[in-house]
Amino acid sequence: MALDPARNLRPAGDDRTPAARCAPCIATPGALIMFPTMRTLAIANHKGGVGKTATARELGGLLASGGRRVLLVDADPQAALTAACGVDGEAGGNLADVIRGAVDMAAILRELRPGLSLAPASMALAGAELGLATHRGRENVLRRALASVGERFGLALLDTHPGLGLLTVGALAAADGVLIPTQPQGADLRALALFLQTVDNVRAELNPGLAVLGILPTFYDRRLTHHSAALAAMRAAGLPLLSVTIGRTVRIAEAMAAGLSLAEYDPGNPQAAAYRELAGVVTTWLESNPT
Ligand SMILES: Nc1ncnc2c1ncn2[C@@H]1O[C@H](COP(=O)(O)OP(=O)(O)OP(=O)(O)O)[C@@H](O)[C@H]1O
Ligand SMILES: [Mg+2]
């Protein structure tokens, strides 16, 4: 069976256990081929409206098209990612049921298309998050839920809500990396530094392996001097700025309203190309950080 590196070094359609999968690979002389388990990338910023959900939606579609088995996780009671996937989170189980311990993660998954699944949310997730407050080991509830389906996916992308509630902390506790979309505004610099401090705290107390994939400028317009000045200030402050920027386009909102990714809705859009570049950055990160 031929190996396809684009599928996390796992052949397409191969659902065997890791041990069974490894047998033929170890037999290849001189080749030690690893089969990584699921990696988890949180998309987070405590500021609202910075493109977290749009970024999760695009990356999910693009990385699945690239051959990875991707799980989108809507960890936001606003359920915007769920809607952007054309799914009704109120119909059937959703992440609120998992957080409350009523059902397993596997029971709520919806396959959007081959290689791309969604753990949907609904407004009930807000109540489930409140319930976590008195739960022992509350920071690890999401991590355990993800681990229970880790064999089925190469990558989980977690969309988080604005603010630093227990769900966001739980997402950071569960993640191998965090991607931080941000609008290029001067006032965001201090907020960003505070958010990175939170990431440091989570790393120190809950998740030593948490990496910062980078800060992703969104709604970026290079013609606006205050935008380029904001990026220069972030660089000067030593913040981990990605070189990819996402510009503004109304097509993103239209695509999300239609339950589609931008790549599906308007593949020739320059921002679809920018997101493809971002998917390349994520792919490089995945491949340079094997489990
Ligand atoms: N690059 C973009 N250009 C124009 N509009 C965008 C862009 N990215 C996202 N949007 C739109 O801006 C709004 C906010 O984006 P999005 O929902 O992705 O932000 P968010 O950070 O997830 O917000 P929240 O903090 O409320 O969860 C949405 O209507 C979305 O369709
Ligand atoms: Mg959102």
CB of 182 closer than 6 A to ligand 1? Answer: no
With respect to residue 169, please indicate whether it lies within any of the assigned structural domains: yes
With respect to residue 243, please indicate whether it lies within any of the assigned structural domains: yes
Confidence of residue 291 (pLDDT cuts 50, 70, 90): low
What would the 3-class secondary structure string for 161-217 be?
A: CCCCCHHHHHHHHHCCEEEEEECCCCCHHHHHHHHHHHHHHHHHHCCCCCEEEEEEE
With respect to residue 230, please indicate whether it lies within any of the assigned structural domains: yes
* Predicted TM-score of the model (pTM): 0.88
**Mean pLDDT score across all residues of the chain:** 87
CB 137 within 8 A of CB 114: no
| pLDDT recorded at residue 95 | 98
Using CA atoms, how far apart are residues 43 and 220, in angstroms rounded to an integer?
Answer: 18
CA 73 to chain centre: 7
Name the domain count of the chain. Answer: 1
With respect to residue 99, please indicate whether it lies within any of the assigned structural domains: yes
CB of 246 closer than 6 A to ligand 1? Answer: yes
Using CA atoms, how far apart are residues 210 and 178, in angstroms rounded to an integer?
Answer: 7
With respect to residue 3, please indicate whether it lies within any of the assigned structural domains: no
| pLDDT recorded at residue 8 | 32
With respect to residue 28, please indicate whether it lies within any of the assigned structural domains: no
With respect to residue 10, please indicate whether it lies within any of the assigned structural domains: no
Select the more confidently predicted residue: 15 or 191: 191
Side-by-side strand order, sheet with 116-119: 110-113, 116-119, 70-75, 155-160, 39-43, 177-182, 211-217
Domain with 254 in it: what CATH number? Answer: 3.40.50.300
Distance (angstroms) between ligand 1 centre and the Cα of 12 equals 33
Domain containing 61 equals: 33-288
If you average pLDDT over residues 261-271, what whole number do you get?
97
Q: What is the token pair recorded at 240?
A: 């981990």
CB of 53 closer than 6 A to ligand 1? Answer: yes
Distance (angstroms) between ligand 1 centre and the Cα of 224 equals 19
With respect to residue 155, please indicate whether it lies within any of the assigned structural domains: yes
Per-residue pLDDT tens over the stretch 2-37? 333 333 333 334 443 433 333 333 333 333 333 348
CB of 76 closer than 6 A to ligand 1? Answer: yes
Q: Is the pLDDT of residue 159 over 90?
A: yes
| pLDDT recorded at residue 242 | 97
If you average pLDDT over residues 241-257, what whole number do you get?
97
Q: What kind and span of H or E run contains 39?
A: strand 39-43
| pLDDT recorded at residue 191 | 84
Q: Is the pLDDT of residue 255 over 60?
A: yes
CB 10 within 8 A of CB 154: yes
What angle (nearest 5°) sits at the alpha carbon of residue 118, between those of residues 110 and 137?
Answer: 110
